[in-house]
């Protein structure tokens, strides 16, 4: 089919998103051991944190169960959101199909944005499963108003998506960057647990403000429209800022790989 015959408008792009989502579901279904291992690892780590904390400091754990559930939820979703893009680029390079994406009539940038949307949807699915598991294990009850939790959760993980774009760009240029993922996972833990309530300036760090507001919404039952406008403003600005910086770094790394002549190498 010629490029001119491809619908590159809204309808065509929605079709591309639908096929991308279908491809992701097929990969999850055809590799069940990997899929179940990913979910099982998330559950196992939480069990270690929860029961380990109860064994070492039961009184302290009793007072912080809600914060642990919300923080771990955001952490697991952030890991899935940021690593998905880099893994997509790495797999395409391994399969030898990365250069084909650059020939897409939608453009490589829009293709990666579409993949990011699919990764976000997958992150929320993993997050929902993880949340149900954690609530069942802990017996904790949280406020789960979708009109509050979903927008806050989406804005909260946008900085993680920006980090994912940075790593996606680095994967295009350097190909093998998997070991660096481990460092970022530990960094995310510190950012999510930052004491924004005591030190508001920490809210400008990635994930910190989103974690703080999400805990207030889910633990205290505070509705989205009841949160202070200035705190919501910081959340929106940090989401846009880090996402924009990440995409800019992704675009730069594409051009860097082209200049170095390593776009199709692995």
| Residue with more model confidence, 97 or 228 | 228
- Which pLDDT score is estimated for 24? 84
- What domain count does the chain have? 1
Q: Is residue 148 part of a domain?
A: yes
Nearest to 85 by CA among 57, 116, 63, 61: 116
In the chain, % of residues over pLDDT 90: 22
Domain interval for residue 166: 17-260
Position 2 pLDDT exceeds 50: no
- Which pLDDT score is estimated for 60? 63
- The predicted model gives 189-218 an average pLDDT of 91
Q: Is residue 2 part of a domain?
A: no
- The predicted model gives 31-53 an average pLDDT of 86
Q: Is residue 3 part of a domain?
A: no
Q: Is residue 7 part of a domain?
A: no
Q: Is residue 10 part of a domain?
A: no
* pLDDT digits 0-9 by tens, 100-109: 777 778 777 7
The answer to whether 189 touches 79, Cβ cutoff 8 Å, is: no
Position 145 pLDDT exceeds 80: yes
Q: Is residue 187 part of a domain?
A: yes
The answer to whether 129 touches 211, Cβ cutoff 8 Å, is: no
> How far apart are the C-alpha atoms of 215 and 213, rounded to whole Å?
5
- DSSP designation for 118: H
- Which pLDDT score is estimated for 228? 92
Q: Is residue 12 part of a domain?
A: no
Nearest to 205 by CA among 187, 186, 221, 219: 187
Average of per-residue pLDDT values in the chain = 84
The answer to whether 41 touches 130, Cβ cutoff 8 Å, is: no
> How far apart are the C-alpha atoms of 246 and 252, rounded to whole Å?
10
Q: Is residue 265 part of a domain?
A: no
The answer to whether 166 touches 250, Cβ cutoff 8 Å, is: yes
| Residue with more model confidence, 229 or 259 | 229
> How far apart are the C-alpha atoms of 77 and 97, rounded to whole Å?
27
> How far apart are the C-alpha atoms of 77 and 85, rounded to whole Å?
13
- Which pLDDT score is estimated for 3? 46
Position 90 pLDDT exceeds 50: yes
Position 254 pLDDT exceeds 70: yes
């Amino acid at each position: 089919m010629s490029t001119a015959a491809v619908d590159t408008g809204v309808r065509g792009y929605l079709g591309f998103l639908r096929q991308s989502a279908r491809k992701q579901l097929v990969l999850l279904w055809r590799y069940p051991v990997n899929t179940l291992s990913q979910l099982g690892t998330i559950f196992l780590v939480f069990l270690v944190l929860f029961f380990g904390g109860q064994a070492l400091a039961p009184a302290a754990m009793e007072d912080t169960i809600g914060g642990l559930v919300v923080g771990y939820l955001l952490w697991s979703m952030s890991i899935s959101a940021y690593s998905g893009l880099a893994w997509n680029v790495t797999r395409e390079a391994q399969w030898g199909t990365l250069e084909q994406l650059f020939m897409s009539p939608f453009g490589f940038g829009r293709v990666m944005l579409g993949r990011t949307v699919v990764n976000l949807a997958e992150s929320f699915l993993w997050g929902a499963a993880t949340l149900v598991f954690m609530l069942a294990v802990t017996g904790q009850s949280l406020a789960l108003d979708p009109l509050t939790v979903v927008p806050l959760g989406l804005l909260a993980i946008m900085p993680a998506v920006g980090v994912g774009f940075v790593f996606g760009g680095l994967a295009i240029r350097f190909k093998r960057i998997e070991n660096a993922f481990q460092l970022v996972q530990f960094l995310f833990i510190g950012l999510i647990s930052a004491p924004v309530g005591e030190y508001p300036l920490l809210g400008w760090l990635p994930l910190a403000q989103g974690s703080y507001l999400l805990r207030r919404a889910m633990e205290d039952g505070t509705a989205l429209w009841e949160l202070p406008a200035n705190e919501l403003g910081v959340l929106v600005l940090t989401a846009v800022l880090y996402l924009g910086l990440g995409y800019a770094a992704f675009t730069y790394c594409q051009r860097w790989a082209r200049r170095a002549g390593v776009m199709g190498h692995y």
